[in-house]
Structure 1
Amino acid sequence: MEVSTLTAILDTTLAVVFTWVAYKTGQLIWKYTPYSYPNARIRAMEARLLTDQRLSELSESGTLQNFVVNLEDTDYGERLSSLSSYNLEEVERALELSLSDLLELMVKIMPKRIRGLFEIMLEEWDVRNIINVVKAKFSNLPPQDFIIPTGKLLPKVRAMAESKAMEEMLVILEGTEYEEPLRKLLLREIDLQAFEVELYKIYYSRLLKYVKSRKGEERIISQEFVNMLIDYKNINVILRAKLSSLSPEEIRNLIIPGGSLSRSTIEAMINSEDVMMALGELEGSRYGEVLKDVREAIEEGKIEKVEEALKKYMIKRMKELSQFYPLSVAVALAYLLEREEEVRKLKAIAKLIEDKVKPEKIKEIVGEMA
């Protein structure tokens, strides 16, 4: 074989190799680089999460005003500094709005290919607001008092609150996914509870549809996250329904489609005789071990302990995924869950301060929530 022929073959081989390397490098850059900035920013925010020592100090605030002042240097400071008065309702609302602010930040900084997840999660505030206004209207209460000032549909929600007739609310929601459930409610085809469930079914179906449209790691992580959210809601609904002695058919109507629990497990829980037997049906699932330590609390009717255990597990699982996929959406989702738990504890401290509970007791209660 001539030297020129060998040279040509070698040149072609090198060109193929370099092309393949360039392609793979481009893939890696496309896959991971967009997460470098948002994850660095989230890691910095993680470092500002309140320690147990800080929560203990907040428990000694004595008054809601001191409680707010003691949070001025935290990520809640901006919202709390705008309070018009130091009452529990306003403090709790400011803390909740900080979570809305966090989701809006995620929408701005996360890669475009996963940004939609956080945009849809923001829509839960629309669901909550619509439910609150409709319930207030049916109860002849001032609906403006129940609006959380955030969400894409906030102008529509405020218009609903100011409407004079129920039918006006239907016109305001025309063209949205929430129009049909409201129509059914006004025609008395469903009750208020079913209306609320219908809205949440719409919300979670949108989340599921979105995460299933993702690819690779983003689909793996975001789909597991949404499945856990649905499992969390369904498990709590079933256990609370069992405590209230609802019939299997009534419970079945409250279930959100989706999640990682099999249909047979959900059905077994629904058809179980009591709350403890319903809990027993989870023993073979991913949540069996998680809930083993709260059986005694459930026997006493403390379903909030189930909620705490499940949220703790969700945080742990997202943190595991963030370690396995360090440059991924798992970092943001883990932090979001941590902040939700932090807000839950802060709201508990504020409520206990308002109720004049002694600092030592507040510390004890909040410590049990960890």
Structure 2
Amino acid sequence: MAKKIKDTDYLAISARIRAMETGLLTRERMEQVLDARTDEEAVKILQECGYPELDPTRPEAMDAALSAAREATLADLADSAPDPRYIDIFKLKYDYHNVKAILKADAMGTDPSHMLMDMGRVDVQTLKEAIQSGKTEELPACLADAAAEAKEVLDTTRDPQLADIVLDRWCYRDMDAVAEAIGSEFLHGYVKAQIDASNLRALVRTIRMGKNMEFLRGVLFEGGDIDEAAILKVSADGGSGLMELYGPTRFQAAAEAGSEILRGGAMTQFEKLCDDAVGDYLSGAQAVAFGEAPLLAYLAARETEYTNLRILLLGRGTGLPADVIRTRLRASYV
């Protein structure tokens, strides 16, 4: 039997994480990038923070550079993490993205290569060959089952959106299975927060689109903290009760923005606030001296940082006003 990993096994890496947190981009540093007079000056500021040259005029090259930085961080921490499955949590979503791309490309008779992201647990070529041949025995079990179900749905309905929902549902199941196998309550909570955010988005979008409760039932994900039956009731009532359901939770601000959308508001701020609510859960790791929580929160903070850099640099590159870019930046706990 494998030795059970204890919180104290994370003493060394937790101390290292606290030191690495000082390298995260603070809001003040992002403001400097935002207020830089030229793109060259903005890129120089980021280079001083340890980033490679990020050229907003070449989005694909910029994305490749951010992906390389992300891979380097994951590889670095994988060497010292007591359980590598915590690193896998931040890789497996790319496996599911790649399955979506492969299945859609196969259905259309095109090559998925330009849509694949080689940042998952499974090498993209291995994944592509396994799915196209149907020989998925060597893939992680959840991923193999997900690919099979999504392919069946796509073949039957010819609706890629339904196949995507299947894969997203399996992705959350996969994450939760990892949390269960490790025995991490903090990771369970992180998965639940993501599911609650996805379900709130689905609720607001379906009401805005005029879809009925039964449509929403098909796109909700199980496993969140907010009761599915209560979400469906809000849908049946046309949005009435939204604030009563979400007001006592960390999703209060997102729900307020969602209510505005139902009166004709824009989606951008709502999407940001849903992400910020998940970040609020992760910020609880700041009070944890050692254990898996600081590691998970740091990796999630880096993911948020990469998202913010892309929003910031591409926004500058397209001439968006600073105030508009500022409202789209996700909150970070630093």
Name the TM tier (shorter chain): 0.7 to 0.9
> Which amino acid is 2:33 matched to?
L
- Give 1:138 deviation, angstroms: 4.2
Q: For 1:150 and 1:119, how far apart are their aligned partners in 2?
A: 10
Alignment counterpart, residue 280 of structure 1, candidates 236, 239, 243: 243
Task: Give yes or no for the alignment of 1:90 onto 2:40.
Answer: no
Partner secondary structure for residue 327 of structure 1: coil
- Report how many aligned residue pairs link the two structures: 321
Q: For 1:157 and 1:242, how far apart are their aligned partners in 2?
A: 40
Task: Give yes or no for the alignment of 1:109 onto 2:80.
Answer: yes
CA RMSD of aligned residues (A): 3.3
Within a 5 Å distance, the mapping from 1:113-192 to structure 2 comes to 115-138=84-107, 142-156=111-125, 159=128, 169-171=131-133, 174-175=136-137, 176-185=144-153, 187-189=155-157, 191-192=159-160
Alignment counterpart, residue 334 of structure 1, candidates 293, 297, 300: 297
**Structure with higher RCO (Cα < 8 A, 6+ apart):** 2
Q: For 1:45 and 1:249, how far apart are their aligned partners in 2?
A: 47
Contact 1:65 1:86 in 2 (8 A): no
Structure 2: gaps (5+ residues): 138-143
- The answer for the alignment partner of 2:224 in structure 1 is 259
Give CA-to-partner distance per residue, 1:93-134, whole Å, 9 cap, x none: 43255445434444332223xx32332431111111221233
Q: For 2:24 and 2:72, how far apart are their aligned partners in 1?
A: 16
> Which amino acid is 1:279 matched to?
L
> Which amino acid is 1:347 matched to?
R
Partner secondary structure for residue 40 of structure 1: helix
Taking structure 1 as the reference length, the TM-score comes to 0.74
Q: For 2:327 and 2:310, how far apart are their aligned partners in 1?
A: 14
Structure 1: gaps (5+ residues): 1-29, 161-167
- Structure whose alpha-carbon radius of gyration is higher: 1
Q: For 2:235 and 2:255, how far apart are their aligned partners in 1?
A: 19
Q: For 1:35 and 1:366, how far apart are their aligned partners in 2?
A: 36
Give CA-to-partner distance per residue, 1:124-181, whole Å, 9 cap, x none: 1111122123334545665222122222323336745xxxxxxx84315532234412
Task: Give yes or no for the alignment of 1:41 onto 2:16.
Answer: yes
Q: For 1:282 and 1:99, how far apart are their aligned partners in 2?
A: 36
Alignment counterpart, residue 274 of structure 2, candidates 310, 316, 324: 310
Distance 1:222 1:288, change over 3 A: closer
Q: For 2:309 and 2:241, how far apart are their aligned partners in 1?
A: 31
- Percent identical among aligned pairs is 20
Give CA-to-partner distance per residue, 1:279-330, whole Å, 9 cap, x none: 335235524534365356534433332332233333333333441x311222
Alignment counterpart, residue 362 of structure 1, candidates 318, 322, 333: 322
